[in-house]
Structure 1
Amino acid sequence: MTINGLLKHRESMLALVIVILIGAVGVITPDFLLAKSLLGAFNDTSMLMILAIGQMLVILTRCIDLSVAANLALTGMVVAMINSAMPGVPIPLLIILAMAMGAVLGAINGFFVWKVGVPAIVVTLGTMSIYRGMVFLLSDGAWVNAHQMSASFIDFPRNTLMGLPVMSWIALGVVVLLFFVTRHLRFGRDFYTAGGNPTAAFYTGINVGQVQFKAFVISGMLAGLCGYLWVSRYAVAYVDVASGFELQVVAACVIGGVSIMGGLGTILGCVLGALFLGVINNALPVIGVSPFWQMAISGAVIIIAVIANAKAERAPGRIILRRAVTGAADVNPTTATAVAKS
């Protein structure tokens, strides 16, 4: 089976697992199968989907962004404080500001990876702490609560359109847009090329570092968008907003079949990975499991998914030089060449 065939099979299996999981929870609690509950679970997963898609682009280029949750917290605090001080600022302007600020924070990560050559995991671990510290310095440790936010600021993601909250429509819009970009535009295909074979990408005129920079900018921009969505939906902004959420984001990508070695993954797989975690996170309280198990379950699922991905991607080697005929002189092993199947 080819890699593409394997991915399609994996996505089908993941979709089936999600359906079975929903059915199993529904047997215990029939109300979970109601359309209202299922739409609520989808809405609860919207921000995870958005962040996972941005993270996917970064991972495709053989990098990782561990600062997305800190980026979200900082941009969310900024727009919440602006709304508290100037309630008349239009919501669309605040969203644009959050996305622009998130893009700048992502660009900082991309700059150090591209121009300075620092490993992405080191850079984003550092900026994760810096961005969290900036939230504290900016707010002086204080919270921005619901009564300090304008009604329009809080209500925007909750407003419904054709039965779905605006936040769900935003997530669907991001999914459709980036699906089109990665499938039909060279700009999107460059993420796969840069991560799948950096050497070949270089010889075809693709600047791998620049592609990584773009991935970080997009990831940061989507984190900024989620910064507004998070603080407005939960009507609170504080230092530890979305603390540890980066684990869920990486888990959604890995579960969805995105290779941590780069160059392999799909938007659909990412969405299914996020939905899988969303169903688990919504189902655990329903069946009486402590929410503190969610992080442990996510970590275990990441390990299992990484092992599964590694085995799926491992290709057997084949010997190019071997004895031509029985009884011929042995070939010196040092001159034998083995290459992996492409």
Structure 2
Amino acid sequence: MTTTSKGLEKAPIPPRSSQSRLVGSVSRIRELGLFIVLILIVAIVSIQVPRFLSPSNIEQILLSIAILAIVAVGETLVVLTRNVDLSVGSMVGLTAFFVANLFKQQPGTNLVLAILLGCAVGLVLGAINGLIVTVGRVPAIIVTLGTLYVYRGLDFVIAGGSQVSASDVPDSFLNLATARIGLFGVGVPALIIFAAAIALIFAYLLHSTRSGRQLYAIGSNPEAARLVGIRSDLLVFGTFMLSGLLCGFAGVLWGARFATVDATAATGLELQVVAAVVVGGVNIFGGSGTIIGAMLGAIVLGTIDDALNLLKLSQFWLQAIDGAAILVAVTLDSFITRWLQRTLVVRRQR
């Protein structure tokens, strides 16, 4: 994948084509390594539990990570610019309750209108994050750590201790999660199709558009990106808005999938999302990684979760695994970043 923008090619700085190829090769190696890990996990668990590879169980794994994958797409865009969004779980939870409660309070609400309103709520929440980061010049980790609690607190205020159950929402809303769409003669759950479509669309945009390449340039070298005229603040603001938008849509799907929604919905989702992104090879220091890698990271974590269930192991292990995965991935990213810097310096000297 190309990781430089057209603007950088015109800049009075050393050529970056060599760096692009090197970073791309490292990303592909990391994704290949993660795929091998996934194969090993599947092989080991399937020996212990033969039904692990059954079509129904594979479908269940993909369903369990569909919403996570949608949120991870937005998180990937943010992380590529050397930022992070820790408020994604709170945005999903707030949107989920807002939309479900809307159906409860206004039974005749049109489904499409409710989906659009949910996406709009997420968009506004993401825009608030983006404005504070780009205009206020506050580090993203501080901003989104704060809004994680602010948005969750707002959710509790709106909910007021109440919850929305399946009987309070229309069947058309619940069908968003339960419907199947015919694909190649097989009924594929709509949730899986939504996640796959969003991942493919954004993967294409990152790879093939000028703005997508500029996101990599911002993450690789923010100062150089500004010097060559890339509108860094606008693009960073845009990534937070897109993250919020995708969280809004994910919140709608969360409400449809779990039916019973209260103020605690999606609590802790941010840890899983960050884990999926960094495990999938998206460098936490920005500038490298792919949407496909993040999706692979989500699948690996979902597979581990399912394996723990089938092996009847404590689910508390999952949180430990997520935390350990983040530590390992960030440490590896730090090592790779330093190695790339040394390698590029040596090449330029030659």
TM-score, normalization by structure 2: 0.89
2:332 aligns with one of 308, 313, 330:
308
1:253 and 2:282 matched: no
Structure 2 counterpart of 1:229: 253
1:130 aligns with one of 137, 147, 150:
150
Change (3 A) 1:10 1:79: same
Structure 1 counterpart of 2:313: 289
Cα deviation, 1:133-176, whole Å, max 9, x if unaligned, reads 11111111211111212111112221001221111110011011
Structure 1 counterpart of 2:78: 58
What is the deviation of 1:3?
Answer: 2.2
CA contact (8 A) 2:133 2:140 kept: yes
Structure 1 counterpart of 2:180: 160
1:207 and 2:231 matched: yes
What is the deviation of 1:243?
Answer: 0.9
Cα deviation, 1:110-144, whole Å, max 9, x if unaligned, reads 00011111111111111111111111111112111
Query: Which residues in structure 2 correspond to 1:317-336 (within 5 Å)?
Result: none
What is the deviation of 1:316?
Answer: 7.1
For the residues of structure 1 that align with 2:336 and 2:155, how far apart are their CA atoms?
Answer: 41
Structure 2 counterpart of 1:239: 263
Change (3 A) 1:317 1:60: closer
CA contact (8 A) 2:216 2:287 kept: yes
What is the deviation of 1:341?
Answer: 5.4
Cα deviation, 1:233-290, whole Å, max 9, x if unaligned, reads 0111111111111011000111011111111111111111111101011111110111
Change (3 A) 1:201 1:241: same
- SS in structure 1 of the partner of residue 294 of structure 2: helix
CA contact (8 A) 2:24 2:288 kept: no
Structure 2 counterpart of 1:107: 127
Residue type of the alignment partner of 2:220: G
Question: Size of the alignment, in residue pairs?
Answer: 324
Query: Which residues in structure 2 correspond to 1:171-182 (within 5 Å)?
Result: 171-182=195-206
Unaligned runs of 5+ in 1: 320-337
Give the 4+ runs in structure 1 shifted more than 4 A. 316-319, 338-342
Query: Which residues in structure 2 correspond to 1:258-269 (within 5 Å)?
Result: 258-269=282-293
What is the deviation of 1:92?
Answer: 2.2
Structure 2 counterpart of 1:185: 209
CA contact (8 A) 1:316 1:340 kept: no
CA contact (8 A) 1:80 1:237 kept: yes
Structure 2 counterpart of 1:329: none
For the residues of structure 1 that align with 2:340 and 2:189, how far apart are their CA atoms?
Answer: 48
Structure 2 counterpart of 1:17: 37
For the residues of structure 2 that align with 1:170 and 1:260, how far apart are their CA atoms?
Answer: 26
Q: Percent identity?
A: 38
1:96 and 2:116 matched: yes
Unaligned runs of 5+ in 2: 1-20
Residue type of the alignment partner of 1:283: A
What is the deviation of 1:212?
Answer: 1.0
What is the deviation of 1:53?
Answer: 1.2
CA contact (8 A) 1:23 1:33 kept: no
For the residues of structure 2 that align with 1:243 and 1:192, how far apart are their CA atoms?
Answer: 30
1:270 and 2:294 matched: yes
Cα deviation, 1:48-89, whole Å, max 9, x if unaligned, reads 111111101111111110000000011111100111122322
2:50 aligns with one of 23, 26, 30:
30
For the residues of structure 2 that align with 1:44 and 1:318, how far apart are their CA atoms?
Answer: 41
1:148 aligns with one of 142, 161, 168:
168
For the residues of structure 2 that align with 1:17 and 1:90, how far apart are their CA atoms?
Answer: 45
1:8 and 2:28 matched: yes
- SS in structure 2 of the partner of residue 2 of structure 1: helix
What is the deviation of 1:90?
Answer: 2.4
- SS in structure 1 of the partner of residue 200 of structure 2: helix
CA contact (8 A) 1:142 1:238 kept: yes
1:85 aligns with one of 85, 97, 105:
105
For the residues of structure 1 that align with 2:68 and 2:86, how far apart are their CA atoms?
Answer: 14
CA contact (8 A) 1:146 1:236 kept: yes
Structure possessing the higher radius of gyration over alpha carbons: 1
Larger displacement relative to structure 2 (6-15 or 263-272): 6-15
For the residues of structure 2 that align with 1:317 and 1:71, how far apart are their CA atoms?
Answer: 36
- SS in structure 2 of the partner of residue 45 of structure 1: helix
Change (3 A) 1:341 1:144: farther
